[in-house]
Amino acid sequence: MLREQIIMSLKTTIGVVFAILIAKALKMEFYSSVATIVVVSMLSDKKQSIKLAATRLLAAIVSLGISSLLFTIFGFSLGVFGLYILIFTFLMYKFNTEIAIVLNIVLVMHIYSLEEISLPILLNEFGLMFLGILVALVINFFILDIEKELIEYQKQTENLFDSIFKNMGKCLINEHQAELMVGQLVELDEILSKGKARAYKYMNSYYIQQNNYYVEYFIMRKQQYYTVRTMQKFIKLKFLKQKEVELLKNFTENIVNNTKILNACESQMIILEEIKHHFTHVAELPPTHDQLQNRIALHQYLYSLEDLVSVKMRFVKEYEKNK
């Protein structure tokens, strides 16, 4: 994270200095103002920056047009400048383009201070906006690749799920307590939150390329996390040694975490259907109250397992379709 912050600071510094040097070399008026345009433009996510660049340039044309008309008709006064701000900001809010307000008001302030309207002055102001945005787009082209970090979060996630599933299987045969998994679930929640945040950062680091695999992955895993957390209340009973317990234990301990092979999900769904058939048509009815409680909890656990696999299957199918 520190490395990323240092690189972003260096990129901003280089962008500002580079833009000022170009503006100065072109003998542009108020050339130092290009620094503000570069900084603000670089704060946007890369994925949105092209769209925002077009919005700011179009807004600049509107802003310069409105201000030129008002100053030409009513003169250069603070009241007219205020009227321009009123009209321009109203239009920006109306069309949800308020992102363009600050920079364009800065440009019009230059015209207000010069108290003159001419084509060279208008071109100068539009040129500052164009130059600042262009430099920001070029500098933002260079990014720090964080995919290795995402792969590491992915590995940690799958290792934790593997451990949790094995412990849940042990809970079914009374060899482990559900309360002992609280720490693992907390750790898993933290990793998923960090991974998801970084995945969005990664996805928004490209202009055109689609990189939403990791975002969808961590969203899917978060759904599974909530299901697993709910399942904890189903495994707190002292389960009796029954065929149904053994079936669910074996399935839980052998859940395949691979998220890129559709056949693995389909195979798991077939096994679950067989287990459901056993529960419904083969297993004897519980003769005692304790066994009835066990069976109800195991039924709930079984359908939660199906939810786990279904969530993963939808993700894998989408991955296969978009691959």
CB 71 within 8 A of CB 116: no
Sequence spans of domains, the chain? 2-140, 147-322
What's the CA gap between 221 and 188, in Å, rounded? 10
For the chain, percent of residues with pLDDT exceeding 70: 90
CB 93 within 8 A of CB 134: no
Torsion of CA 202, 206, 212, 214, to 10 degrees: -20
Statement: residue 3 has pLDDT above 90: no
* H or E element, residue 143: none
Residue in the structure block whose two tokens are 């130092």 = 32
What's the CA gap between 168 and 146, in Å, rounded? 33
Local confidence band at 128 (pLDDT 50, 70, 90 cut-offs): very high
Of residues 128 and 5, more confidently modeled: 128
- Per-residue DSSP letter, 237: S
* H or E element, residue 133: helix 119-140
Local confidence band at 212 (pLDDT 50, 70, 90 cut-offs): confident
| Mean predicted confidence (pLDDT) in 262-272 | 79
CB 316 within 8 A of CB 265: yes
Structural class in CATH, domain 147-322: mainly alpha
Query: What digits encode the pLDDT tens for the residues 129-171?
Result: 999 999 988 888 776 677 888 999 999 999 999 999 999 988 8
Q: Which of 40, 49, 60 is nearest to 104 (CA)?
A: 60
Residue in the structure block whose two tokens are 């750790």 = 187
- Burial label for 83, CB within 10 Å (0-12, 13-18, 19+), is middle
